[in-house]
Structure 1
Amino acid sequence: MAEEIIVAGWMDYEPGDRATMLEALVELGRRTREEEPGCLDYAMTADPGDEGRIRVYEHWTSQQALDEHFATPHIKDFRTAVAGLARVGVSLTSHTVAASRPMR
């Protein structure tokens, strides 16, 4: 069985661009979760303490599923929709999960 992948971090946008980016991310997230069986979770949320920051959390069944995500039609649609928005910072890290257990 392939090891799961978690992508986590943040993206910063000009404060005036964050709302537009979040709107596009809502549609991207919906389509990703509905259309990609390798997606276990996909959430991009506004950071309440920073008017330009978007927090990123993705959970994938495998690296292959994540790689295939970038070739989907909805990623192409998303990139077209957000072309021209000013991203001013980014810190994203991909983690390979070796083991998981429920927390109580």
Structure 2
Amino acid sequence: MAEEIIVAGWMDYEPADRDTMLKALVELGRHTREQEPGCLDYAMTADPTDERRIRVFEHWTCRQALDEHFSTTHIKDFRAAVAGLTRVEVSLTAHTVAASQPLR
């Protein structure tokens, strides 16, 4: 059984660009969750305390599913749509999950 992958972190955009990026991410997330069986969760949200920051959380069945995500048509379309936006900084990390248990 392949180990699951969690991608977590943040992306900072110029404040004037953040809402445009978030709208594009909503569309990307919809396509990703609907069309990619290896995607367990895909959420990008505005940070309520930083007008530049978008929080990132992705959950994948395996590394191969994540790698394949980057070659999809909807990722290519997304990248073209947001090419003119100004990303200031980014911190994203892929974590390999060895074990999980529910919190009570």
TM-score (norm 1): 0.99
Q: Could you tell me which amino acid in structure 2 is paired with residue 78 of structure 1?
A: F
d(CA) in 1 for partners of 2:7, 2:30: 17
Runs of 4+ that moved beyond 2 A = none
- Specify the SS of the correspondent of 2:66: helix
Report Cα offsets for 1:30-63 as digits up to 9, x if no partner. 0000000000000000000000100000000000
Number of corresponding residues:
104
Q: What is the aligned-residue identity percentage?
A: 83
- Specify the SS of the correspondent of 1:101: coil
- Specify the SS of the correspondent of 2:24: helix
How far residue 13 of structure 1 moved from its aligned partner, in angstroms, is: 0.1
- Specify the SS of the correspondent of 1:56: strand
d(CA) in 1 for partners of 2:85, 2:63: 28
Q: Which structure 2 residue ranges, 5 or more long, are not aligned?
A: none
1:49 aligns to what? 49
Q: Could you tell me which amino acid in structure 1 is paired with residue 95 of structure 2?
A: H
How far residue 25 of structure 1 moved from its aligned partner, in angstroms, is: 0.1
Q: RMSD value over aligned CA atoms?
A: 0.3
How far residue 84 of structure 1 moved from its aligned partner, in angstroms, is: 1.0
Q: Could you tell me which amino acid in structure 2 is paired with residue 79 of structure 1?
A: R
- 1:15-94 mapped onto 2 (5 Å cutoff): 15-94=15-94
d(CA) in 1 for partners of 2:72, 2:52: 27
TM-score (norm 2): 0.99
How far residue 83 of structure 1 moved from its aligned partner, in angstroms, is: 0.6
